[in-house]
Structure 1
Amino acid sequence: MKRKGIILIWIGCFLFVCSVYPMFLIMREKATIYHVYKNYAIEQLINVHSRMDATTVLNSPFMLTNNKIQVITEDTGIVAPKTINQKIKHIFKMKILINDEEKFPESEVTLTPEREEDSRFLSWLNVVKIREQDSGIEKTAIIQRLSSDWIPGKKNPSHTESQQWRIIYFTGYNQMEEEVFGYPDRGKHPLGVRLIQESQMSSTLIGFKSDVLTYLPSYYYPAIYPQLTFWVGVMLLIWGTVRFVRGMRDTSA
């Protein structure tokens, strides 16, 4: 009984050690999702699935929490590197004027040079309203993607890890706050990550602190590994410890 207990403990330790870190990532991600969805309600001010709506809002000055917002783009004439989208795109300079002033640095975006019916900005910029559930305080935000499109074969740095965003929060006239962060430090900006997810400002699926929940589920992951292997490991550790202790008592007796 003592020997069987040791074997069970070794197997349990192996399964536990292999599963504990991904289980920690999954539980931490679920806890973050719970809190950020509980604390904030998000309302899309631009229907990302409606081309007409996006054109109407972003191609002309619009009001946002008593602030006049205008998005201005300037074609540099430089052809952008080829991406997963086969359309020919140019590098543009994008400025966001707030009350006719440029309060934040301009950014580079890649857009098709032809003027189209639908807005060309939606993969780079979006607008939402945020409501804090406890206090009822409302504010609006502009979510802007600062990183370039996905260039096939460019892996240094990888496309996902090189992503960057800017979020401008508005609470009143000329009352604003800028939040800039990248993929590696997104864990410090849970609300920002939710805004990025809901506004589709990321060209890849991203999680709040890790991407463990963005992987496609299968028969193996995550039901068998790490969830089942984790709990089987815990049970084997308990069972093996009980058998080992009983074996020690039988030996001493």
Structure 2
Amino acid sequence: MKSVVYFGLALVIFSIYPIYFITQEMLIDANISSKFKIEVMSVDMKNSKNSERQWLIASTQFKQHNIEFLAEDIESGPPTVKNESRLVNITIKVDKTVESTPVRQELFLYKNDSHFKYWNYTFRVKNTDDNHEEIAIVQNLTQGKIVEKQKWRVIHINENGQMNEEVFSYLDRGEHLLGVKLLQRSQQPVGFKSDILMYYPSIIFPNIYPLVTFILGILIIIVSGIFLLINRKF
């Protein structure tokens, strides 16, 4: 009977590591979701030339503020053929005065000459504690596809039109929980502390392992322990 107890204990030990990270991710997500209401914000795509070096590629309104997305390419200008891409400097400007640090990003011409597309997600974020709202613009600062080597920037614009920039990498993402939640809403497979919930679910994971194996191990330990106690009495 002791061997059965050891088997149950082995199942628990074998399952506790992923169970811990799954529980941690679920608790963090529940906390962030209860504190912040996040909605995708509509952005009007543009394709208009501001100057010889600058193009307006998108704009939106937040409260009384006008927010513009500007592209600048000193050498060759923006793409001119459908699906053609070029690296340009992307800048966010509020009311034509407050300006973000330029970021080098890949810009595509979409649907002939109607508008451009690029890696950028815009959200309206409401803090449920004080009801304050802001715009959060998520940008990828790296061109590679390996998530572990990427770095992101979130531009926060509050109701007064003030802007601040939050930059973090994959390695220090655990200190930027709202930023990670915005990345998840931006279709990035990134977890808060672990990526364990980002894997494609199957019958085996996480259903059989670690959930079933953990519960089964606990049940084996409890039932075996009861039998051991009964046998000792008799």
TM-score (norm 1): 0.74
Root mean square deviation, CA, Å: 2.8
Alignment map for 1:71-220 (pairs within 5 Å): 71-75=69-73, 88-101=84-97, 103-112=99-108, 116-121=113-118, 123=119, 125-150=120-145, 159-200=146-187, 202=188, 205-220=189-204
Tell me by how many angstroms 1:131 deviates: 1.5
Supply the distance in 1 between the matched residues of 2:141 and 2:204 (Cα, whole angstroms).
Answer: 36
Question: Out of 27, 38, 45, which is 1:54 matched to?
Answer: 45
**Unaligned regions of 5+ residues in structure 1, if any?**
48-52, 79-86, 151-158
Conserved 8 A contact 1:46-1:126? no
Supply the distance in 1 between the matched residues of 2:206 and 2:196 (Cα, whole angstroms).
Answer: 9
Distance 1:109 1:117, change over 3 A: same
Aligned length: 220
**Unaligned regions of 5+ residues in structure 2, if any?**
48-55, 77-82
Conserved 8 A contact 2:109-2:117? no
Whichever structure has more strand as a proportion of its residues is 2
**SS across alignment from 1:130:** strand
Question: Out of 51, 63, 69, which is 2:67 matched to?
Answer: 69
TM-score (norm 2): 0.80
Deviation string, structure 1 residues 186-220 (Cα, Å, up to 9, x no partner): 222222222222244x3xx2223322222222221
Tell me which residue corresponds to 2:224: 240
Tell me which residue corresponds to 1:153: none
Deviation string, structure 1 residues 37-91 (Cα, Å, up to 9, x no partner): 22221222226xxxxx4348x725544344443222223659xxxxxxxx55322
Tell me which residue corresponds to 1:83: none
Tell me by how many angstroms 1:160 deviates: 0.9
The share of aligned pairs that are identical, in percent, is 28
Asked which structure has the greater RCO (Cα within 8 Å, sep 6+), the reply is 1
Supply the distance in 1 between the matched residues of 2:222 and 2:59 (Cα, whole angstroms).
Answer: 65
Tell me which residue corresponds to 2:6: 10
